[in-house]
Amino acid sequence: MEAKQTSRRSGIMECRNALKNRSSAPIEDRIPPSKVAQRTAPIFGGYKNHLLVNATDAYIDAHKDRFLNELLDLLRIPSVSADPKYKSDVARCADAVKQRMVEAGLEKVEVCPTKGHPIVYGEKIVDPAKPTVLVYGHYDVQPPDPLELWHSGPFDPVIKDDLIYARGSADDKGQFYMHVKAIEAMMKSGGLPCNVKVMIEGEEEVGSDNLGLFVAANKDRLKADVVLISDTAMIANDCPSINTGLRGLSYVEVEVTGPNRDLHSGVYGGAVANPINALCEMIASLHDADRRITIPGFYDAVQELSAAERKALAEAPFNEEEYKKDLNIEAVRGEKGYTSEERSSIRPTLDVNGIWAGYIGEGAKTVLPSKAFAKLSMRLVPNQKSDAITKLFKNHFEKIAPPGVKVEVRPHHGGEAAVTPIDSPAYLAASKAMEETFCKKPIPTRGGGSIPIVALFEAELGLKTVLFGFGLDSDNIHSPNEKYGVFNYFQGIRTIPRFFQHFAATGRR
């Protein structure tokens, strides 16, 4: 069955406005021409700027086929950061990104090697007295498997019903490339209104370990007034929103060992602890009947939101019936006392991401295995520290091991949560820019995913971030048939120059 372009918050009637039409019209009809810019011209602060935005729109319009084809070419490179067998493809992708940044008019463009995959950096300083925007994105992608569930090859992009199907189309190639094209369009149609630095990394999907070192070692080079990232989702195409928070992450792998070898489940079963049974019991005990996490101290640092803050968040449209229907589930499930929206954004979680052990081949094998494994993620909220939570988990998990098994907890990557302001010049510039292109003021929302580097930008560079994402929750990121709307791609390219325009006018810190 064909996946429908829905959002988890879809079914919102009041959001139907000027930009309804996205599905089958040719690109030229889907990009509303300069009408919007004309209607909103006064807020650009004068005739010259007004013309500039129109010229930029015109440039984008004139080059839209090339802009789309270039993205498809990038999507053909399988830049999977997690799997060493793609290492040379990741490197090839970095070179391609560098080449594209040079062509867009950026200067000092460099592929910076790291201990892992390279970082691509470039900049254009038009006037040191003007504000500087640091654009961040990632060219690496998640592994494509399970391959058999894709309707077309993950690295063989296909446009169907105006959706670009490919691994990385939304996360994050399609989104970071909007910036490269927006920068090109601004430069070719009157120039950049302020300075820009662009840093695109190749290890976001594996924890950004080397980016942290790069940022710490390049503080001067990365000096800026704000970080701009397109790597998140909006509520719906006719209901724009801006993420103002991300969750942190603690990721662990556990190994439960029972007897020193696999045993016949009849000969030994009943008398020896089965590590799979033990692991399942242990995991099950990590939530109580109210779906709260039972690890002592887990909630200690959690900042509860005020009633007013919760009320404000609840104003974002959300249709639980549509949400269930989209996922084909009969009921939602989560922590007592919180809505689905809250459970998936402002509350911490614990989930098993993978579990393996014993016999999983054809037919039956009566065996009591020696070992069982699982990978678990805990999504964290502001104030919870990733390392501290990992320690709490480790202590607790070792303690609850039943007699007869040994437990080992191995920490993977982690990251801190982040909240971004909604009253900064940069947020207001982003909000205005979106309002102009969507004909609707974006709603601030809190996101559930993690981009650990956001907290690091703040800690290392003292910079706040604007999460200027144009994806949808229904884009299937990290999943088969990842997709990104052609509409969303061009809407981003048209909106970004407007952000630059507004930020240039107000953004110097």
Q: How far is the CB of 259 from ligand BES (least distance, A)?
A: 35
140 is catalytic: yes
204 is catalytic: yes
Phi, psi of 241 (to 5 degrees): -150, 165
Torsion of CA 460, 466, 472, 478, to 10 degrees: -10
Residue (137 or 240) nearer to Mn ion, CB:
137
Q: Position of tokens 């088969």?
A: 480
Residue (137 or 190) nearer to Mn ion, CB:
137
Site size toward Mn ion (CB under 5 A) is 3
Q: Which of the stretches 228-236, 274-282, 330-338, 402-410 binds ligand BES when contact is defined by CB under 6 A?
A: 228-236
Torsion of CA 418, 422, 427, 433, to 10 degrees: 130
Please state whether beta strands 107-112 and 163-165 pair in parallel, antiparallel, or not at all (unpaired). Answer: unpaired
Q: Which residues pair with 137 in a beta bridge?
A: 200
Residue 452 interacting entry, from ligand BES, Mn ion, none, C-beta within 5 to 8 Å by type: ligand BES
Q: Which of 258, 449, 485, 497 binds ligand BES (CB under 6 A)?
A: 449
The answer to whether the CB of 293 falls within 8 A of the CB of 395 is no
Q: Binding to ligand BES by residue 231, rule CB under 6 A? A: yes
Q: How far is the CB of 506 from ligand BES (least distance, A)?
A: 26
208: left (phi over 0), alpha (psi -120 to 50) or beta: left
Residue 101 interacting entry, from ligand BES, Mn ion, none, C-beta within 5 to 8 Å by type: none
Of 89, 201, 204, 205, the catalytic one is 204
Residue 1's Cβ-count burial label (10 Å; 0-12, 13-18, 19+) is exposed
Site size toward ligand BES (CB under 6 A) is 17
Nearest to 492 by CA among 288, 242, 317: 242
Residue 349 interacting entry, from ligand BES, Mn ion, none, C-beta within 5 to 8 Å by type: none
Q: Position of tokens 């372009």?
A: 5
The Cα–Cα gap between 191 and 70 comes to 22
Q: Which of 172, 203, 435, 436 binds Mn ion (CB under 5 A)?
A: 172
CA 281 to chain centre: 32
Count of residues for the chain? 509
Q: Binding to Mn ion by residue 326, rule CB under 5 A? A: no
Residue 249 interacting entry, from ligand BES, Mn ion, none, C-beta within 5 to 8 Å by type: ligand BES
Site string for ligand BES, 402-421 (x = CB under 6 A): -----------x-x------
Of 57, 70, 140, 473, the catalytic one is 140
Q: How far is the CB of 172 from ligand BES (least distance, A)?
A: 6
Residues of the shown chain interacting with ligand BES in the complex, contacts defined by CB under 6 A: 171-172, 204-205, 207, 231-233, 246, 249, 413, 415, 447, 449-452
